[in-house]
């Protein structure tokens, strides 16, 4: 399902990134000042497009954060998820197909940046900045200086995208199909998930009636659905985690994550600090820098010159 990952959920990425990613972090020197001379208004331009998009689409913040995560966990942070590729495209991978969204907003950001600073800002960096702005500007969460200087990759990898990809749970929405088994048939005998708060159970049944439309959306965080805060953790303490994979963090007897849920529930500052660290670490997974990759003019396709160059190289090697 699109809202799961192998280790923990995106929202507790800080709990495992420091250990799991240590060996894969790039030594490349990304820096928040990368565009200071070449495109000093890059963040303001992205913020403007993002805020305008949010007026008609309150889900866009969570969607763009998810795109950034799903990009970085496949070949590194190289904007491969944005490529339109009918054969290897990551958009059609199982965790993304009919689920990942926000591509048109990235297109609008790219168009605005190409107008202001042609051939300068990579699509990979747009995803990174848009994620930070989604958290800080749209959702009232923490802000951070985004390390920049990534370049865009030439290929997508659907096979990798079909393996463990993270979700985003502190705000955003989930389809009924991701949790209805908890409401009606938890163990296959018509029962409900015993860890689900009974009042919350009835609320969810009203939204997702048995046999109803499985694509209906409901809030991942029933308390502050569009805010970025630590209510995700307090929800788990009272058995109001929407997804079973979330609730397991608190309801699994003896789990190490229980102490973390309790700590972040009582200390939002600690959660924000850990989250920011995890975002910076994740954004530094194997970026292309220097002369690697390219700066796409269209985030959905590699540049035509790159295609010609690669074709010429293949022709030469075959002679």
Catalytic residue set: 70
Q: Is the dihedral of CA 6, 10, 14, 20 positive or negative?
A: positive
Residue 85 among known ligand-binding residues: no
Are 112 and 136 contacting, i.e. CB atoms less than 8 angstroms apart?
no
Residue 312 among known ligand-binding residues: no
263 φ, ψ to 5°? -70, -45
Residue 170 among known ligand-binding residues: yes
Are 230 and 268 contacting, i.e. CB atoms less than 8 angstroms apart?
yes
Residue 187 among known ligand-binding residues: no
CA–CA dist 8, 257 (Å, integer): 9
Residue 166 among known ligand-binding residues: yes
Residue 169 among known ligand-binding residues: yes
Residue 226 among known ligand-binding residues: no
Residue 224 among known ligand-binding residues: yes
Q: Spell out the residues 6+ positions from residue 192 whose beta carbon is closer than 8 angstroms to its own.
A: 182, 183, 184, 186, 201
Angle at 32 between CA 63 and CA 113, to 5 degrees: 60
CA–CA dist 66, 106 (Å, integer): 13
Binding site listing for heme b: 169
Binding site listing for Ca(2+): 71, 74, 76, 78, 80, 90, 170, 221, 224, 229
Binding site listing: 71, 74, 76, 78, 80, 90, 166, 169-170, 221, 224, 229
């Amino acid at each position: 399902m699109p809202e799961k990952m192998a280790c923990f959920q995106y929202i507790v990425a800080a709990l495992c990134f420091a250990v799991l990613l240590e060996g894969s972090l790039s030594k490349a020197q990304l820096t928040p000042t990368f565009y200071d001379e070449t495109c000093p208004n890059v963040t303001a331009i992205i913020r403007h497009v993002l805020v305008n998009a949010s007026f008609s689409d309150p889900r866009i913040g969570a969607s763009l954060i998810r795109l950034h995560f799903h990009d970085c966990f496949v070949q590194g942070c190289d904007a491969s998820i944005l490529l339109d590729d009918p054969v290897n495209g990551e958009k059609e991978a199982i965790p993304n197909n009919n689920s990942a969204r926000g591509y048109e907003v990235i297109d609008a950001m790219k168009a605005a940046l190409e107008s202001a600073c042609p051939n300068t800002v990579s699509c990979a960096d747009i995803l990174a900045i848009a994620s930070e702005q989604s958290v800080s500007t749209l959702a009232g969460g923490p802000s951070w200086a985004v390390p920049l200087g990534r370049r865009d990759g030439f290929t997508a990898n659907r096979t990798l995208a079909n393996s463990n990809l993270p979700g985003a749970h502190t705000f955003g929405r989930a389809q009924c199909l991701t949790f209805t088994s908890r409401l009606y048939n938890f163990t296959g005998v018509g029962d409900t998930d015993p860890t689900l708060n009974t009042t919350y159970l009835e609320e969810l049944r009203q939204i997702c009636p048995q046999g109803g439309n499985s694509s209906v959306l409901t809030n991942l965080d029933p308390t502050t659905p569009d805010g970025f805060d630590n209510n995700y953790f307090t929800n788990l303490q009272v058995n109001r985690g929407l997804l079973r994979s979330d609730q397991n963090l608190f309801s699994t007897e003896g789990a190490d994550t229980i102490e973390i849920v309790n700590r972040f529930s009582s200390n939002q500052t600690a959660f924000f600090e850990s989250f920011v660290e995890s975002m910076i670490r994740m954004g530094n997974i194997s970026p292309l820098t220097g002369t690697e990759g390219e700066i796409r003019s269209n985030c959905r396709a590699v540049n035509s010159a790159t295609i010609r160059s690669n074709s010429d190289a293949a022709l030469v090697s075959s002679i």
